[in-house]
Structure formats: C-alpha cells, structure tokens
C-alpha cells in the first residue's frame, strides 16, 4: 500500500479542525447547562474525525476514478491523481475507515444512552449509518450527490445540525430549540467552505461533468450565495446570544468576525479562482476559531 505520508496527505488533515467545530459548540452549550461527560466528548470527537477522514478518502477515490481530478484542477494534487495510492488501495482504506468509524459511533451511542433509551439510540444509530453513507456517496458511484449539486445540503445537515444539536442531545437527552441557531451557523459556515472549494474548481468541474451548485449557479451567483452563508451564520450566532447571554463573555466569538468578514471581502472582490485556494483554509480555521471563542465565552 501507499506509504504513511501518502495516507496522511490523503486524509487532508487541514480539514479536520472544521469537522470538530460543531462538536465543540454543542458540547460547550451543554457544559454551560451543567452537563458533561469526558467519554462522550472523546468518542464524539473521534467519530467526527473518522467521518471527515472517510469523506476525504472517498472524495479522492470518487473524483480519481471518474477523472475529475486531472491536470485542469487548481487545488492540491490528490493521492490517486498523483499515483501515490492506487484505486484498489484507496478502496481498502475507505472500508477500514468506515468500519472503525461505525465502531466508534456504536460505542458513543451506548455510552450516551445505555440500555434505557432505546428510541434515541436507534435514531442516532440511523444518523451514524446515514453519515457514513453520505461521506462515501458524495463522489463515489454513478448517483454521487456531489455531482448533482446536493453537497451543500448534506454538509449543512451533518456538519451543522447533527454535529451541534446531536452532540448537545448526547449529553443532555433534552430538546432545546434555541440550539438550532448555532447549529445553523456552523452548518452555514461549513457549506461556505464547500462553496469556496467548488468556486475554485468551477471550470474543471464543468469540463468533467461535475455539476456542483456553483456550476449550476455560475460565478456571480456563487459569490452572492457565499455572502448569504456568511451573513446568515453570523446572524444566527448573534440571535442565539441575545436570547441566552448572561454576561459579556457570551459575545466573545465576535472577535472571530474580524477575519471572517475580511475573508468575505476578498472573496467578493476575487476574479482569479486560483486565489480562492488559501481562502479555504482561512474560512475553515476561522470557523474553528469562532467555535473555540464561542465555547470559552459560555464556560467563563
């Protein structure tokens, strides 16, 4: 199989901070309300990281075997595209990661719900299974939803709603509809990262027949869509704090709006898709930064 460094590159470690942002937000809301379990937190983090790595490997495989990753692509070269990992090896890696992630998810569900809450446990098992399938089917197979412009919907659902609201529920076993606001916020920001990726790859995706939402909307509308995602995310966080704030520290995350809106300004003014590549990292890390500040503000 490919060497260790090749697999590390295929796992795309730079995407991992974004993936755990929702867990941090959901967990710290629960902590503020007096709920926490270190085992649940650890398993939730590991499960989420497993899902993100699974998605990255599957994306490499799906785009690689379809020929979408080619010399026209602007971003970093992928493992299959570079020949560092064969398609057969990548498929084995996907299976191993999927099984390991499912085991982690089952352990998480058992620790959170035990033997007494069968219905919630069943719902979360279904969510875990759906998340694994979604991670793989983004680019893999003839009916890959990423090729039909549905990637943003699934990113919003799993990175936002499931990550934030789901992790909150794992601790509290309670419904709190206000938690949907920060869940929406992280979902919107995560969709923004995907939108940037698709804006960068719009020309090569068009040639390869990958009909992302950006390909369908065009360059101009994609910028407006990006603008809407960032504004909506900011609005949701502020409204949540207005309803729940106990002190100034609950607004600590507003510091993170500075790099967020500087990023937005650069995207709106951008005319060269190649220059959007560093913005992917900036938005992902800014989302992570905001989630950390959000959590600290709640806990202080």
Residue closest to 223 by CA, chosen among 212, 211, 214, 234? 214
- C-alpha span between 54 and 49 (Å, rounded): 8
pLDDT digits (tens, 9 = 90+) for 2-28: 678 889 999 998 899 999 999 999 999
Domain of residue 19: give its range: 4-299
Closest CA to 182 of 152, 153, 160: 160
Tell me the per-residue pLDDT of 100-158, one tens digit each, with 9 for 90 and over: 999 999 999 999 999 889 999 999 999 999 999 999 999 998 889 999 999 999 999 99
Question: Looking at residue 31, what is its pLDDT?
Answer: 97
How many independent structural domains does the chain possess? 1
Question: What is the Cα–Cα distance from 295 to 186, expressed in whole angstroms?
Answer: 13
Spatial distance between the Cα atoms of 82 and 87, rounded to a whole number of angstroms: 11
* φ, ψ dihedrals at 74, nearest 5°: -85, -40
Nearest C-alpha neighbor of 264 from the set 166, 201, 193, 209: 193
Given a cut of 70, the residues of the chain with pLDDT beneath it are 1-2, 69-75
Task: Report the pLDDT value the prediction gives residue 71, as an integer from 0 to 100.
Answer: 67
């Amino acid at each position: 199989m490919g060497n260790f460094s090749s697999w590390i590159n295929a796992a795309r470690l730079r995407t991992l901070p974004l993936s755990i942002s929702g867990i941090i937000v959901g967990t710290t809301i629960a902590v503020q309300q007096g709920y926490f379990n270190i085992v649940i937190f650890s398993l939730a983090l590991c499960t989420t990281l497993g899902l993100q790595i699974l998605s990255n490997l599957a994306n490499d495989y799906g785009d690689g075997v379809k020929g979408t990753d080619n010399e026209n692509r602007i971003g970093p070269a992928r493992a299959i595209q570079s020949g560092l990992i064969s398609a057969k090896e990548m498929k084995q890696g996907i299976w191993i990661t999927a099984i390991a992630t499912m085991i982690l998810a089952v352990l998480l569900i058992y620790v959170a719900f035990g033997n007494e809450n069968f219905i919630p446990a069943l719902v979360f098992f279904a969510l875990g299974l759906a998340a694994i399938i979604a991670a793989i089917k983004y680019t893999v197979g003839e009916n890959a939803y990423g090729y039909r412009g549905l990637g943003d919907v699934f990113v919003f659902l799993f990175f936002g709603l499931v990550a934030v609201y789901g992790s909150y529920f794992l601790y509290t076993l309670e419904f709190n509809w206000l938690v949907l606001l920060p869940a929406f916020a992280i979902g919107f920001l995560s969709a923004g990262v995907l939108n940037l990726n698709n804006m960068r790859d719009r020309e090569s995706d068009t040639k390869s027949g990958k009909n992302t939402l950006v390909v369908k909307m065009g360059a101009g509308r994609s910028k407006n869509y990006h603008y809407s995602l960032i504004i909506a995310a900011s609005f949701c966080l502020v409204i949540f704090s207005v309803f729940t704030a106990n002190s100034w520290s609950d607004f600590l995350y507003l510091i993170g709006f500075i790099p967020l809106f500087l990023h937005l300004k650069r995207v709106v003014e951008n005319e060269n898709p190649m220059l959007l590549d560093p913005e992917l990292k900036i938005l992902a890390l800014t989302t992570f930064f905001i989630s950390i500040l959000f959590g600290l503000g709640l806990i202080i």
